[in-house]
């Protein structure tokens, strides 16, 4: 029997008999209405297309700034920032642990000075910026706010998203800093701060993407993502926040694979599940609190270093799946990302892929084009049931944090990843150019390489900063941050003051480490 990625049986023919009691005129509802199966907005792309984001960031802030200007000139509607590993882990570029990693997988941002260079000449009041940052999300958000103020733009006019999803780091990715309880406290502080200071900002992008990249099936991806989301909602409510005040700013982040039909069904099922969770479990009355708004990125894990140009085809199919599934914004991977950081030409081609889908096809002329499809509606129902079963399994273990501590999600994902690897190895799963349709003498591809001088330059910039700033004032500000972190107050105001005085991201993270400690995973599973 042929099965989908989530193990759902796939039939060659579907008909109305597959859909018990299905009435296409009443069962689905209208787009923009509960439970949002057909999309979160009434007009979807018939009014305007999704936001076209391109994930970029490498080397120095100056180099990344030049790439952003190029992307904006080519029609990108929103920026998406990749940070290097030391920045993601709360270390400065001149720390010993950062050696060899500065500027490698994203841009190095150590201080307000770097953030000013990163967004130099870019109108922050007119563009939307997404920042893929988790444990130090508060630090990067505050630096962005300070740069906006430099441009005369108040926080009330800034729009964008911080990923800020630490729970999935414990499950699948590893760029955590603090223990889960402290991380949830920090996230709740961000919710409260943005409610007052940056009300149009999406305070969290709860991510299934990284779990999918680690091997999660579509059902696992949405189940574990929504289980994490429930934990964040509970933490915010426990901190005294009103669900209908903070929930409209929640957003999600999913992958789009080449299995086009299942991906469309996955997105539709996820919207429906979340609508019921928010209304029925948390009592959310505001329709915006019930909407699952999400960003999508095409599947990096499915890109191949062999015959990299074939990735252009993969990305086009994946991008189409995201659009047919109703995404609110989309990043299409560059075809050379399996080899190295994307070249300028490859990044432009990735953006052009989205533009072809938006302006040369007819998919933007119809809302939820697959509504009523026997196959899609059945797959949507079956994925919903599979995901709900996994969410309940997480709840039975005490919720997302307790299940993480027990290794449940990690074990489930690793088992799925192993199954896929076996199928590729024994060739029951075809990967074009890898285990079938190989080319004997493939032409070498010259990737973009990061100049190792970048690390030395960043170290020098930090040395200058530490000489020039008022170090006594920075020390006092960091001490105030420690005091607040040791109490119950919101840590973002003292953090902002320290950053304004040019404290580094590493210094801020170390101040919080002094109080909250660091997370040590249990290697017993």
295, 282 Cβ separation under 8 angstroms: no
pTM for this prediction: 0.88
353, 312 Cβ separation under 8 angstroms: yes
For 426-494, give the DSSP string: TTSS--BTTTBS--TTPPP---B---THHHHHHHHHHHHHHHHS-HHHHHHHHHHHHHHHHSSS-SHHH
106-to-23, 135, 340, 388 alpha-carbon distances in Å? 49, 16, 11, 36
Distance, CA of 86 to CA of 104 (rounded, Å): 10
SS (H, E, C) 379-436: HHHHHHHHHHHHHHHHHHCCCHHHHHHHCHHHHHHHHHHHHHHHHHHCCCCCCECCCE
Break the chain into its structural domains and give their ranges. Answer: 48-425, 469-516
Structure tokens at 181: 């309880």
83 phi and psi, to 5 degrees? -105, 150
Closest CA to 59 of 94, 14, 109, 11: 109
Helix 260-276 / helix 218-238 crossing angle, nearest 10 deg: 20
Name the fold adopted by 48-425: TIM Barrel (3.20.20)
SS (H, E, C) 80-133: EEEECHHHHHCCCCCCHHHCCCCCCCCECCCCHHHHHHHCCCCCCCCCEEEEEC
Closest CA to 50 of 292, 324, 241, 284: 324
Tens of each residue's pLDDT in the chain, 525 residues: 788 889 888 877 766 666 655 555 555 788 999 999 999 999 999 989 998 987 666 678 998 898 889 888 887 767 889 899 999 999 999 999 999 999 888 899 999 999 999 999 998 998 899 899 999 999 999 999 999 999 999 999 999 999 999 999 999 888 999 999 999 999 999 999 999 999 999 999 999 999 999 999 999 999 999 999 999 999 999 989 999 999 999 999 999 999 999 999 999 999 999 999 999 999 999 999 999 999 999 999 999 999 999 999 999 999 999 999 999 999 999 999 888 778 889 989 999 999 999 999 999 999 999 998 989 999 999 999 999 999 999 999 999 999 998 999 999 999 999 999 999 999 999 999 999 999 887 777 776 666 778 899 999 999 999 999 999 999 999 999 999 999 999 999 999 999 999 999 999 999 999 999 999 887 544
Element (H, E) at 359: helix 344-360
Structure tokens at 2: 């042929």
Cβ-proximal residues to 352 (8 Å cutoff; 6+ apart), any chain: none
Distance, CA of 207 to CA of 224 (rounded, Å): 9
Cβ-proximal residues to 67 (8 Å cutoff; 6+ apart), any chain: 56, 57, 58, 344, 347
Closest CA to 95 of 463, 485, 449: 463
Distance, CA of 196 to CA of 216 (rounded, Å): 36
């Amino acid at each position: 029997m042929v099965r989908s990625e989530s193990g759902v049986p796939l039939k060659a023919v579907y008909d109305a008999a597959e859909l018990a009691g299905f009435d296409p005129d009443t069962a689905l509802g209208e787009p923009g209405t509960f439970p949002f199966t057909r999309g979160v907005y009434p007009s979807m792309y018939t009014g305007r297309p999704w936001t076209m984001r391109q994930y970029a960031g490498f080397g120095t802030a100056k180099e990344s700034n030049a790439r952003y200007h190029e992307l904006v000139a080519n029609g990108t509607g929103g920026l998406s920032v990749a940070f290097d590993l030391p920045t993601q882990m709360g270390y400065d570029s001149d720390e010993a642990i950062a050696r060899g990693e500065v500027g490698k997988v994203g841009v190095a941002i150590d201080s307000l000075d770097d953030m000013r260079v990163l967004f130099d000449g870019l109108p922050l009041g007119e563009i939307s910026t997404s920042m893929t940052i988790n444990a130090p999300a508060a630090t990067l958000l505050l630096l962005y706010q300070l740069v906006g103020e430099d441009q005369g733009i108040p926080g009330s006019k800034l729009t964008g998203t911080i990923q800020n999803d630490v729970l999935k780091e414990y499950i699948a990715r590893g760029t955590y800093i603090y223990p889960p309880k402290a991380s949830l406290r920090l996230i709740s502080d961000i919710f409260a701060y943005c409610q007052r200071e940056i009300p149009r900002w999406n305070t969290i992008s709860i991510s299934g993407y990284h779990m999918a990249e680690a091997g999660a099936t579509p059902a696992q991806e949405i189940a574990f993502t929504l289980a994490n989301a429930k934990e964040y909602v509970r933490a915010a409510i426990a901190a005294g926040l009103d669900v209908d005040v903070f929930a409209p700013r929640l957003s999600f982040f999913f992958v789009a694979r080449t299995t086009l039909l299942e991906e469309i069904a996955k997105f539709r099922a996820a919207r429906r599940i979340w609508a019921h969770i928010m209304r029925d479990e948390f009592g959310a009355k505001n329709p915006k609190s019930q909407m699952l708004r999400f960003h999508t990125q095409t599947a990096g894990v499915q890109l191949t270093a062999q015959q990299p140009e074939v990735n252009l085809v993969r990305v086009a199919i994946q991008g189409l799946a995201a659009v047919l599934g109703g995404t609110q914004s989309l990043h299409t991977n560059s075809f050379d990302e399996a080899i190295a950081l994307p070249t300028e030409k490859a990044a432009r081609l990735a953006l052009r892929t989205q533009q072809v889908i938006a302006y040369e096809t007819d998919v933007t002329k119809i809302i939820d084009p697959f509504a009523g499809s026997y196959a899609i509606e059945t797959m949507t129902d079956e994925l919903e049931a599979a995901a709900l079963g996994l969410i309940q399994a997480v709840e039975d273990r005490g919720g997302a944090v307790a299940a993480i501590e027990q290794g449940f999600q990690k074990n489930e994902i690793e088992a799925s990843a192993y199954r896929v690897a076996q199928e590729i190895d024994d060739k029951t799963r075809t990967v074009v150019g890898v285990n079938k349709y190989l080319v004997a003498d493939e032409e070498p591809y010259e990737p973009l390489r990061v100049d190792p001088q970048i690390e030395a330059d960043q170290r020098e910039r930090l040395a200058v900063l530490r000489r020039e700033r008022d170090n006594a004032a920075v020390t006092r500000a960091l001490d105030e941050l420690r005091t607040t972190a040791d109490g119950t107050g919101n840590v973002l105001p003292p953090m902002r003051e320290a950053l304004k005085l040019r404290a580094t991201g590493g210094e801020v993270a170390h101040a919080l480490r002094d109080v909250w400690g660091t997370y040590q995973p249990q290697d017993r599973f």
